[in-house]
A and B are shown apart, each in its own frame.
Chain A
Amino acid sequence: MARTAVVKGKIPPWASNHAEISRRRLGNGSTWFDPVREEALRRFEALGLPTTRREEYRFTNLAPLGRVDFRRAEGVKAPIETERIEKLLFGDRAAVELVFVNGVLDEALSSRGDLADGAVVMPLSTAIRERREGVEEHLGRHIGMETNFFAALNTAILDDGLFLHLPDRCILEKPVHVLFHTTTVDQPIAGHPRNLLIANRGSAAVVIESYAGEGETPYWTNAATEAVVGEGSRLTHYKQQLESENAFHISALDVTQSASSRFVTFSISFGASIARSDIRIDLDGEAIESDMNGLFLARGDQHVDHHTTMNHAGPRCESREFYKGILAGRAKGVFTGRIVVCKDAQKTNAFQANRNLLLSDDAAIHTQPQLEILADDVKCSHGATVGRLDEEALFYFRSRGIDPEEAEKMLIGAFAGEVVEKIDLPLLRERVAALVSARLAGGATGKETA
C-alpha cells in the first residue's frame, strides 16, 4: 500500500549523550549483541524524536521530552525510599521479585523464592553476560525498531531488567514481579529498562511489571519488553504504570505467539504526565488465543496514549481487546487499536472494545479503532464509546439518599471494575481496585480543579 515515508523527527538535546553511551557499550560484555546494538543506534539516529506530523503521534505531542536534558539514570545515587517501595512489593507471594532502583538492581529489596526446575529468572544484564542460549535468539529480534524511535533507543542503550526463561513444560505457580523505581533526584534522569520473557513449549507463568517513582523533578522511563510465547504455553503479563505525575513514561511491548498458545496482557496506567504505550502482538501460528486489556485513569494535565496492534498472521486464532479510559480535569486520552488480519488468517475471530468516560468538559479523548482485513472468512468487530456518567443512574442513587459524590464514585468504580475484575491475581486485583478508589477520593472527578 502507498504509505508516506516516516516523517523525520527532531534531534533532542540528549541524543548525542545517549548515542555516546550506546557506543561505549559496544563490545562491552557480549560481542554477539553488537550488530543489534549498532542497528538500533542507526535507527535511533535516523528516526529522531517523533513529532505530531507522524500519524502515529498525531495526538501525542512529545516535544516536552525534547526540551529536557536528561541524564542517564543508571548509577545516580539517591536516598532510597524503602518504605514506599515495600508497599509495592509482593514478598513471598511472588516466586521471584527483582527491584531496580534508578536502573540498578537492589539486592536487598529483591527476593528469590523457590523456582520450578529449570526455570531461569535473573537480571537481563547477567543473562547477556553469562548465557547466550535464548538471549541471543530473541533479544532485539521482536521489537519494532524500524519505525519506533523509542524502541530503537532502548535497544541501543539497553539498561537492565527482567530475564525469564521457562524450559518446556515448566510451570511457575507464583508470579514473577519486576519493579522499576525512580527516586527523587535534583536533575532529570532517564532510564531504559528492558525485559525479555521466553516461555517455551507447554510452559506457564505470570509476570508483573511495575513502574513507579516520585518527586517534583521530571524523569523519563523508556521501557521495552519482548515476550516469546511458545507453542501451547501460557503467559499472563500485567503492567502497572504508577509513575510520578511529573514523569514521562514511554513503553513498548512486543509479543510473538506460537501455535495454540495463550497470552493475556493488562496495561494499568495511572501515572506520568505523558504516558505512551505501544503494544504489538503477533499471532504467528494456528489456534492462538490473545487478550489485551487496559485501564487508564488520568486527571489534571495528564496525557495517556495507548497504541495497540493485534496482528493475526495465522488461521483459527481468537483475540479480544478491551480498553477503558477515565479522564478528568484537563486530561487527554488517546487510544489507537489496530486489528490486522493477514491473507492466510482465515477463521479469525477478533474483537475490540474501547469505552471512555469523560468526567470534565476540559478532558478530551481521541479514539481510533481500526480494522485491516485481508482474509474473507473472519469475524471481526470493534466498538468505541465516549460518554459521561449516566444521569438516570445518578438520579437513582440520589433518590435513595446517596449523596452525589458517593454515587459518582460508585459508578466510576463500577465502570473501572469491568477491567479490574478480569485481573486473575487476587492480590493485584485488590491493589488496583484500591488505587482506583484512592484516585477517585483524591478528586478524579471533574469538580476538583486539579
Chain B
Amino acid sequence: MKTPDDELKTLADQEYKWGFVTDIDSDTIPKGLSEEVVRLISLKKGEPPWMLDFRLKAYRHWLTLVEPRWAHLDYPPVDYQDAHYYSAPKPKKKLASLDEVDPELLETFGKLGIPLSEQKMLAGVAVDAVFDSVSVATTFKEKLSEEGIIFCSFSEAIREHPDLVRKYMGSVVPYTDNFFAALNAAVFTDGSFCYIPKGVRCPMELSTYFRINQAQTGQFERTLLVADEGSSVSYLEGCTAPMRDENQLHAAVVELIAFDDAKIKYSTIQNWYPGDKEGKGGIYNFVTKRGACRGRNSHISWTQVETGSAITWKYPGCILLGDNSVGEFYSVALTNHHQQADTGTKMIHIGKNTRSTIVSKGISAGRGQNSYRGLVQIMKGATGARNFSQCDSMLIGDRCGAHTFPYIDVRNSSATVEHEASTTKIGEDQLFYCNQRGIDLEDAVGMIVNGFCKEVFRELPMEFAVEAQKLLNVSLEGSVG
C-alpha cells in the first residue's frame, strides 16, 4: 500500500501546470539597461516628452540607489544588465477585431481560461489582456465608456488621457519611493489605467491578466486606478507564466487612489513560475503596491493569493488620509519547494477614525520560507484609529520556515491596535480523522488548508475564489509529514 507520505510526495512533485511557451515573433531590444535603453523604450512607444522626462528622472535616481537586502530572502544578486527591458509581440497591423489577433495568442489565452471570445460576455468580465508588455485586445470598452469609465492600457492612457496620467501617476508611489519603484518608473512598458468618474459604480469586475512570455524579459507593469467621489470598482489581477530556467525579474507598480466615499477592491492571484523542485529558475517578483484613501469614507481593500514566484517581495499598503477611511488587507501566501516570500502590508493611519484590518495566512511547505512583514502606523492626528491584525502561519514539513515581523508604531493614545499571530502545523489527528471518514490524504490536506485560508478566500470575487482554491490544492498539496 502506498503510504500517505509517498502519495503526498507524488503530489508535491507535481510540475507547474501552466508551463508552456507561446511562439510568436517578439520585438525585443538587446539586453542591458542604460539611458539609451530608457530613451529607446520611450521612443518605441511613441511617448510625449514629459513621459520621457519622468523616465529619465527615475532612471537617474535609480542609479543612486542600492538594492534592498533587508527582507528575509536569500537569492543571488540580480544582474540588471542581463535582462531585456522591452519585448512586445510584433504589431503586424492595427487590429480591428478579435479575428485579426494572432490565433496562437488567442489559444494561449484560451489555455489560461481568459474569456476573450463571446463567452466572456456571459462571464461578465472585461479583460485588458497584457501579453508580455503590450495590450493586445481590450474588451467591453464600449460598455464601460457608456458609463464614462476609462479602462485602457497605460500607453493608450498616455496618448488619450495625458492630463489624468500626469496628474496621478507617481502621486502614490513616486519614483523615489524605492529601488524597484524607481526601476519600474524608468523602464515600464505598459500596464493598465482605469478611471471611474464621480458617482459611478462599475457595472462589472475589471480584470487584467498579466503573462510573462518572452524568455529573459523583465516585466515592468504599471497600473493606475483612480476612483473619483462616490464611485466603486472591483479589479482583478491574475497571473500565470510559462516555464523558464533563468530567473526572470518582475518589478511592477500599482497605484490606487480613492476619493470621498469611493471604494476600490483590488484582488490578485499570483501564480508565476516558482522554479523547479531544486529551486532552479522562477520569477523574482518585486512589487510596489499602494493605495491612497484621499477622501472621507474612502475604502481600499487588497486581497492577494500568492502561490507562485521563486522570490516574492511585496507589501501592498494603504495610506488612510481621509477621515473615516478604511484599509483592508487579506492575504494567502504559499511557499513550496524552494520558494521564498516576504510579504505583508503597510497601514498608515493619518485621518481621524480610520480603520484597518489585516488578515494574513502564510503556508510553508517543502523548503519554503514565508515571512509576514507589516507596518501599522498611527500618526498623531489619527484620533480614534483602529487596527486589527491577524497573522497565522501553517508549516507543512520540517524544513520550511515561517516568520512574522510586524512593526507597530502608535503616536495617538485614542488609537486601538491589536496584533495576533500564531503558528501551527496540520495536526496528524486532523488528517487521521479525515482518513477515517474515507477522505483521502490529498483531499484532507486541501480541506484543512482551504479552511485555514477561508477568511481570505471569502473576500475574493466568486470566480477568483474558485480558482484560488484549485490553485492552492495544486501548488501545495503534498509535503505533509
In the bound complex, do residue A387 and residue B421 qualify as a contact, i.e. CB atoms below 8 Å apart? no
In the complex, what distance in Å separates the CA atom of A363 from the CA atom of B411? 6
B322 within 8 A of A: no
What is the distance, in angstroms, from A50's C-beta to the closest C-beta of chain B?
Answer: 16
In the complex, what distance in Å separates the CA atom of A375 from the CA atom of B413? 38
Interchain CB contact (< 8 A) of A369 among B69, B378, B402, B406: B406
What is the distance, in angstroms, from A45's C-beta to the closest C-beta of chain B?
Answer: 26
In the bound complex, do residue A343 and residue B398 qualify as a contact, i.e. CB atoms below 8 Å apart? yes
What is the distance, in angstroms, from B146's C-beta to the closest C-beta of chain A?
Answer: 48
Using CB atoms, name the residue of chain A closest to B400: A376
Q: With A4-B70, A55-B70 given, is the CB distance from A386 to B410 under 8 Å?
A: yes
In the complex, what distance in Å separates the CA atom of A4 from the CA atom of B72? 10
Mark each residue of chain B from 398 to 438: 1 if its CB lies under 8 Å from any CB of chain A, else 0: 11111111111111111111111111110000000000000
- The count of A-to-B residue pairs whose CB atoms sit within 8 angstroms is 129
Residues of B within 8 A of A360 (CB): 413
In the complex, what distance in Å separates the CA atom of A188 from the CA atom of B75? 48
A27 within 8 A of B: no
In the bound complex, do residue A381 and residue B420 qualify as a contact, i.e. CB atoms below 8 Å apart? yes
What is the distance, in angstroms, from B398's C-beta to the closest C-beta of chain A?
Answer: 5
Interchain CB contact (< 8 A) of A361 among B380, B396, B419: B380
Q: With A379-B424, A383-B419 given, is the CB distance from A371 to B407 under 8 Å?
A: no
What is the distance, in angstroms, from B479's C-beta to the closest C-beta of chain A?
Answer: 10
Interchain CB contact (< 8 A) of B413 among A3, A358, A367: A358
B79 within 8 A of A: no
Chain B: interface secondary structure?
strand
In the complex, what distance in Å separates the CA atom of A359 from the CA atom of B402? 35
What is the distance, in angstroms, from A7's C-beta to the closest C-beta of chain B?
Answer: 11
In the bound complex, do residue A365 and residue B408 qualify as a contact, i.e. CB atoms below 8 Å apart? yes
Interchain CB contact (< 8 A) of B395 among A362, A364, A376: A376
In the bound complex, do residue B403 and residue A373 qualify as a contact, i.e. CB atoms below 8 Å apart? yes
B203 within 8 A of A: no
In the bound complex, do residue B69 and residue A365 qualify as a contact, i.e. CB atoms below 8 Å apart? no
What is the distance, in angstroms, from B8's C-beta to the closest C-beta of chain A?
Answer: 14
B206-242 interface with A by 8 A CB criterion: none
B367-407 interface with A by 8 A CB criterion: 378, 380, 393, 395-407
Residues of A within 8 A of B412 (CB): 358, 361
Residues of A within 8 A of B419 (CB): 367, 369, 382-385
In the complex, what distance in Å separates the CA atom of A379 from the CA atom of B427? 11
In the bound complex, do residue B405 and residue A368 qualify as a contact, i.e. CB atoms below 8 Å apart? yes
B91 within 8 A of A: no
In the bound complex, do residue A386 and residue B405 qualify as a contact, i.e. CB atoms below 8 Å apart? no
In the bound complex, do residue A382 and residue B421 qualify as a contact, i.e. CB atoms below 8 Å apart? yes
Q: Which residue, of B71, B397, B401, B425, has the highest number of chain A Cβ atoms within 10 A?
A: B401
In the complex, what distance in Å separates the CA atom of A368 from the CA atom of B344? 14
Residues of A within 8 A of B424 (CB): 378-379
In the bound complex, do residue A385 and residue B417 qualify as a contact, i.e. CB atoms below 8 Å apart? yes
In the bound complex, do residue A346 and residue B413 qualify as a contact, i.e. CB atoms below 8 Å apart? no
Interchain CB contact (< 8 A) of A384 among B71, B406, B413: B406
A132 within 8 A of B: no
In the bound complex, do residue B422 and residue A1 qualify as a contact, i.e. CB atoms below 8 Å apart? no
What is the distance, in angstroms, from B180's C-beta to the closest C-beta of chain A?
Answer: 16
In the complex, what distance in Å separates the CA atom of A343 from the CA atom of B400? 9
In the complex, what distance in Å separates the CA atom of A339 from the CA atom of B95? 58
A129 within 8 A of B: no
In the complex, what distance in Å separates the CA atom of A2 from the CA atom of B399? 18
B73 within 8 A of A: yes
Residues of B within 8 A of A3 (CB): 69-70
In the complex, what distance in Å separates the CA atom of A386 from the CA atom of B380? 14
In the complex, what distance in Å separates the CA atom of A287 from the CA atom of B169? 57
Residues of A within 8 A of B74 (CB): 1-2
In the bound complex, do residue A359 and residue B70 qualify as a contact, i.e. CB atoms below 8 Å apart? no
In the bound complex, do residue B413 and residue A359 qualify as a contact, i.e. CB atoms below 8 Å apart? yes
Residues of A within 8 A of B75 (CB): 2
B110 within 8 A of A: no
Residues of A within 8 A of B199 (CB): none
In the bound complex, do residue A388 and residue B407 qualify as a contact, i.e. CB atoms below 8 Å apart? no
In the bound complex, do residue B69 and residue A384 qualify as a contact, i.e. CB atoms below 8 Å apart? no
In the bound complex, do residue B409 and residue A364 qualify as a contact, i.e. CB atoms below 8 Å apart? yes
What is the distance, in angstroms, from B64's C-beta to the closest C-beta of chain A?
Answer: 17
B48 within 8 A of A: no
Q: With A55-B70, A385-B419 given, is the CB distance from A365 to B401 under 8 Å?
A: no
Using CB atoms, name the residue of chain B closest to A446: B413
A107 within 8 A of B: no
Using CB atoms, name the residue of chain B closest to A327: B413
A377 within 8 A of B: yes
In the complex, what distance in Å separates the CA atom of A203 from the CA atom of B378? 48
In the complex, what distance in Å separates the CA atom of A180 from the CA atom of B293? 53
In the bound complex, do residue A387 and residue B409 qualify as a contact, i.e. CB atoms below 8 Å apart? no
Residues of B within 8 A of A56 (CB): none
In the bound complex, do residue B410 and residue A369 qualify as a contact, i.e. CB atoms below 8 Å apart? no
Residues of A within 8 A of B402 (CB): 371, 373
Residues of A within 8 A of B408 (CB): 365-368, 384, 386
Residue pairs across A and B with Cβ atoms less than 8 A apart, 11 shown, are A4-B70, A358-B410, A361-B413, A366-B409, A366-B410, A370-B403, A370-B405, A371-B421, A375-B395, A377-B398, A388-B413
Interface contacts beyond A358-B410, A384-B406: sample of 12 additional A-B pairs, CB < 8 Å, sorted by A = A358-B412, A358-B415, A361-B413, A363-B413, A367-B407, A371-B403, A373-B403, A373-B423, A375-B395, A376-B396, A376-B481, A387-B415
B contact residues vs A (CB 8 Å cutoff) = 69-75, 378, 380, 393, 395-425, 481
Q: 7 shortest A-B CB distances, which residue pairs?
A: A358-B413, A376-B395, A381-B422, A371-B404, A386-B417, A364-B411, A380-B423
